[in-house]
Amino acid sequence: MLREREKRVLVFGGAAAAFLLVLTFVLIPGVSRIKSQARVVAAAEADLAELRKARPEIERIQSETNAKAGIVRAAANVKDAPLLRITSALQEAGIPQSALNIKSGGIRNGERFREESFDVRIENLTYLEAVKTLQRLSAGSLPVAIRSASLKSRYDDPRYLDVTLRVGFLTPKS
């Protein structure tokens, strides 16, 4: 039989052990979880603020995409091959056939469009002709996207350039 004092010490020790167990397995992990959730909420609020700042830019890009989609849909009814259409557009820009070399780069299916890539190499252009050519291709009635442009000065005459373009001809995804 335990004495009254031993019983009190045993009850107090049990209560202290129970308190330590509750503190270790319930309270501390709960506080830690609350802190981590607060960090997640703060990060989400920061992401939302960035998204709200980017909204005008996103809307501008969507309107440009819709305009390009209209050009793609309108150009889809033309039966000429993409290679022929790009070649004729470049020749209309004043680039002679002898300075022009076009190679197919393959086909890629995107989310909204099918893109046929072409590597267009143009030799002996002035800087102004190169800019006008890029403008005509990107802002014209052709459904193209210029993926990359490489302009290199000619070794024999630095006033002229050799231009290599990666052009994507867009068609509606069917």
pLDDT (tens digit per residue) in 63-115: 988 888 888 887 777 788 888 888 888 888 888 888 889 998 888 888 878 88
Tell me, what's the pLDDT at 152? 92
pLDDT digits (tens, 9 = 90+) for 4-30: 888 888 888 888 888 888 878 888 888
pLDDT of residue 5: 83
Q: Is it true that domain 80-172 has CATH number 1.10.357.10? A: no
Q: What is the pLDDT of residue 112?
A: 77
The answer, yes or no, to whether residue 48 has pLDDT greater than 80, is yes
* pLDDT for 43: 93
Q: What is the mean pLDDT of residues 34-63?
A: 92
What is residue 1's predicted lDDT score, i.e. its pLDDT? Answer: 67
Residue-level pLDDT at 41? 93
Domain edges within the chain: 1-75, 80-172
DSSP the chain: ---HHHHHHHHHHHHHHHHHHHIIIIIHHHHHHHHHHHHHHHHHHHHHHHHHHHHHHHHHHHHHHHHHHHHHHHHTT--S-HHHHHHHHHHHTT--GGGEEEEEEEEEE-SSEEEEEEEEEEEEE-HHHHHHHHHHHHHSSS-EEEEEEEEEE-SS-TTSEEEEEEEEEEEE--
Give the pLDDT confidence score for residue 163 in this predicted structure: 92
- The per-residue pLDDT for 114 is 86
Q: What is the mean pLDDT of the chain?
A: 86
More confident residue, 117 or 113: 117
Average pLDDT over residues 105-132: 88
Q: Can you give the pLDDT at residue 164?
A: 93
Q: Does 60 score more than 90 pLDDT?
A: yes
